[in-house]
Structure 1
Amino acid sequence: MRLFVAAPVPETVKEKLLETARSLAPAPARWVGAENLHLTLLWLGEVAEPEELLASVPEQLPQPFVATALITHIGAGKKLGQIWAYVHPETPLLNLQAGLKKLLASPEEDRAFTPHITLARGATEEGQLVADRAFHTTFRITELRVYRSESTPESVRYHALKTIPLSHE
């Protein structure tokens, strides 16, 4: 089972993100549904014993800070054909991600952390780029979710398996 930990995107932000992103796509794209928008903090990859991992995740995660996601712009993702909403890597967000990585000891996550929200896939043709567009909004990260990723020929679907409220010390 393919798992990851992410912060859900508030409803008030989702439609604005998708509306702006759709105006940038030069060709048809496979849009991520509003219900699936999230800010991935830790990719866990293929997990053979998901029940064991879920049991190891705390019921609440104390934080000495309030993490926020500051979206700076929408543009081409690092993978060809993706449209991302880029999130500024502020210290509290980086600390939250590093704490999760240490807590869950993810061997899959050895890449540099680029905070973003994937909005679409298949949005460009070979060699074309999507123009960046400024997009400024902030939201508080009050909970995290462990998601299961399920790929189908038409799309990718995400199923929340566990919600972890963040408490502030």
Structure 2
Amino acid sequence: MSESKRLFFALALPDEIQQQIIHWRAASFPPDAGRPVVAANLHVTLAFLGELSAQKQAALETLAGRIRQPGFTLTLDDAGQWLRSRVVWLGTRQPPRGLLQLANMLRAQAARSGCWQSPQPFHPHITLLRDASHAVAIPPPGFCWSFPVREFMLYESQFVRGRTRYTPLQRFPLQP
């Protein structure tokens, strides 16, 4: 019997944009602002699935593979902090309709498959800093990254040697 995996659906960032965000973060926030998320772990979560068996994973992969939705452009032009969860994030002022539809479909499929989904509205974001124990000055608007989204991914979250690592397991293309 195989062990369960901690899984989520997400959007990956292009490598070039990952690096630009890392440099911007280093220049925009003091070292004591929080624990930086490593470049390879920067992503936009669409639906958190939790601990799943191989059987449930296969069923959700099948459902995700049936999604027929056009790609879209994502613009990252907003940032903020959630004090309760101690997170500093990068997001979008105007989420594209395609992003909202994709997240809603994946969250609905996950819920119907028995995966708990947060009752909070979907807020597309990239976690930049964790453990931000105090209020952090957020840079004024002026930063902006845009990129085409042509696929979404299924990731596994693993805690290895004291670090969290996100491993892509499968890609799901969006329509051209």
Structure 2-normalised TM-score? Answer: 0.79
CA distance in 1, matches of 2:12, 2:82: 19
Deviation digits for residues 90-136 of structure 1 (CA, Å, limit 9, x no counterpart): 222111111112233342333211100112213x343x323234221
Partner of 1:4: 8
SS in 2 for 1:138: strand
- Hey, what's the Cα distance between the residues in 1 that align with 2:54 and 2:22? 31
TM-aligned CA distance change 1:152 to 1:112, over 3 Å? farther
Aligned residues: 164
Q: How far apart, in 2, do the equivalents of 1:156 and 1:89 lie?
A: 27
Residue from 92, 100, 109 that aligns with 2:106: 100
Match of 2:75? Answer: 70
Shift of 1:51: 4.0
Unaligned runs of 5+ in 2: none
Q: Distance in 1 between matches of 2:119 and 2:51?
A: 14
In structure 1, the gaps of 5 or more residues are none
Alignment RMSD, CA only? Answer: 2.3
Distance 1:133 1:79, change over 3 A: farther
Distance in structure 1 (CA, Å) of the matches to 2:27 and 2:133: 16
Structure 1 residues 8 and 78: CA distance shift in structure 2, 3 A: farther
Q: Which residue of 1 aligns with 2:130?
A: 121
Amino acid across the alignment from 2:19: E
Task: Give percent identity, aligned residues only.
Answer: 27
Question: Is this contact kept in 2: 1:76–1:130, CA < 8 A?
Answer: no
- Higher percent of residues as helix: 2
Q: Per the alignment, do residues 110 and 46 of structure 1 end up closer, same or farther by CA in structure 2, a change over 3 Å counting? A: farther
